[in-house]
Chains A and B, each alone.
Chain A
Amino acid sequence: MNVQEPRFSRRALLRRAGLFGLAASASALLAACAGQQATPTPAPPAASPTPAAVASPTAPPATPAAAPSPTITVGPAAGEIVIGILATLEGAFALYGEEAVRGVELAVAEFGGAIAGKKIRLVKESTDATPQVAREKARKLIEQDKVDCIVGPLSGDEGLALRDYAKTVPDKTIVNGTSAAQDTTLRDPAPNFFRFSTDGVQWMAGLGTYCYEVKGYRRVATLGEDYSYPYSQVAGFLLEFCRLGGDVVAQFWVPIGTKDYSSVITSMPSDIDAIYVILGGSDAVNFLKAYAEFGGKAALIGGSSTVDQNVLETKGPLRERVIGIPGAGPVAADNPDPAWQSWVETYRKQFPQGLSTPSLFCWGYYVNAKGLLLGLRAVNADLSDGQKKLQAALAKVEFDGPTGHIKLDKNRQAIANNFVTEVAEGPNGTLYNKLVKVVEGVNQTLGLPEDKYLSLGSFTRDNPTCQKIKQTFGS
Chain B
Amino acid sequence: MSWPQFVTVTLNGLTLAALYFIVAIGFTLIFGVLRVVNLAHGSLYLFGGYLGWSVADRTGSWVLGAFAALLVTALAGLVLQLGLLQRIHGQELREALVTIGVSIVAADLMLARWGGFTYDFSPPKVITGGLRIPLLDVGYPRYRLFVLAFAIVLGLVVWFVLARTRLGIIVRAAIDDRDMVAAVGIDVQRLFALMFAIGAGLAGLAGVIGGSVLSISSGEDARYLLASLIVVIVGGMGSLPGTAVAAVLVALVEQYSLALFPTYAAIVSFLLMVVVLALRPQGLFGRPA
Contacts and interface: CB of A to CB of B under 8 A. Distances in A.
Interface in A13-38: 13-18, 20-22, 24-25, 28-29, 32
B188 interface: yes
Contact of B218 (A11, A32, A59, A90): A90
B273 interface: yes
A277 to B, nearest CB: 13
Given A266-B9, A267-B5, A317-B122, A57 B265 contact: no
B172 interface: no
Range of interface residues on A (Cβ < 8 Å): 35 or more
Contacts of A7: 90
A28 B229 contact: no
Most buried by A among B111, B144, B225, B277: B111
B135 interface: no
Contacts of A5: 90
Contact of B289 (A14, A60, A257): A14
A262 interface: yes
A12 B92 contact: yes
Contacts of A84: none
A13 B37 contact: yes
A285 interface: yes
Contacts of B31: 17
Given A91-B218, A226-B263, A263-B258, A316 B289 contact: no
B97 to A, nearest CB: 8
A259 B267 contact: no
Nearest to B116: A95
Contact of B263 (A22, A59, A254): A254
A9 interface: yes
B196 to A, nearest CB: 15
B103 A61 contact: yes
Contacts of B285: none
Interface stretch (B70-78, B153-161, B175-183): B175-183
B50 to A, nearest CB: 10
A17 B119 contact: no
Given A25-B273, A32-B267, A61-B103, A264 B258 contact: yes
A425 interface: no
B233 interface: yes
Given A12-B92, A17-B229, A315-B53, A58 B222 contact: yes
Contacts of B115: 94-95, 98
Interface in B204-235: 213-215, 217-220, 222-223, 225-226, 229-230, 232-233
A92 B214 contact: no
B9 A263 contact: yes
Contacts of A17: 31, 37, 229, 232-233, 237
B116 A311 contact: no
Nearest to A260: B16
B96 A95 contact: no
A61 B222 CA distance: 8
Contacts of A295: 130, 139
A24 B229 contact: yes
A251 B115 CA distance: 33
A2 B130 contact: no
Contact of B258 (A12, A28, A254): A254
A313 B117 contact: yes
Interface string B106-120: 011001000111111
A21 B230 contact: yes
Contact of B215 (A24, A25, A96, A285): A285
Contacts of B139: 294-295
A259 B141 contact: no
B6 to A, nearest CB: 9
B39 interface: yes
Nearest to B143: A293
B262 interface: yes
A11 B117 contact: no
Range of interface residues on B (Cβ < 8 Å): 35 or more
A475 interface: no
A45 B228 CA distance: 37
B133 interface: no
Interface in B156-201: 178-179, 182-183, 188-189
Nearest to A353: B115
Nearest to A25: B270
Contacts of A90: 107-108, 111, 218-219
A62 interface: yes
A364 to B, nearest CB: 16
Given A92-B219, A285-B118, A461-B263, A18 B270 contact: no
B81 interface: no
Given A21-B229, A318-B120, A257 B270 contact: no
A22 B266 CA distance: 14
B39 A58 contact: yes
A21 B141 CA distance: 32
A255 interface: yes
Nearest to B180: A2
Contacts of B149: none
A71 interface: no
Nearest to B264: A255
A168 interface: no
B8 interface: yes
Contacts of B5: 266-267
B281 A14 contact: yes
Interface string B63-100: 00000000000000000000000000110100010001
Nearest to A94: B116
Nearest to A26: B270
B118 A314 contact: yes
B229 to A, nearest CB: 5
A285 B119 CA distance: 9
Contacts of B256: 263
Given A29-B267, A32-B266, A58-B229, A21 B215 contact: no
B102 to A, nearest CB: 10
A267 B111 CA distance: 35
B188 A3 contact: yes
A282 B263 contact: no
12 contacts: A12-B92, A16-B92, A21-B230, A57-B39, A62-B104, A262-B12, A263-B255, A264-B262, A282-B215, A285-B118, A316-B120, A316-B215
Interface of A: 2-18, 20-22, 24-25, 28-29, 32, 57-63, 90-98, 226, 252-255, 257-264, 266-267, 281-282, 285-286, 289, 293-295, 310-311, 313-318, 461
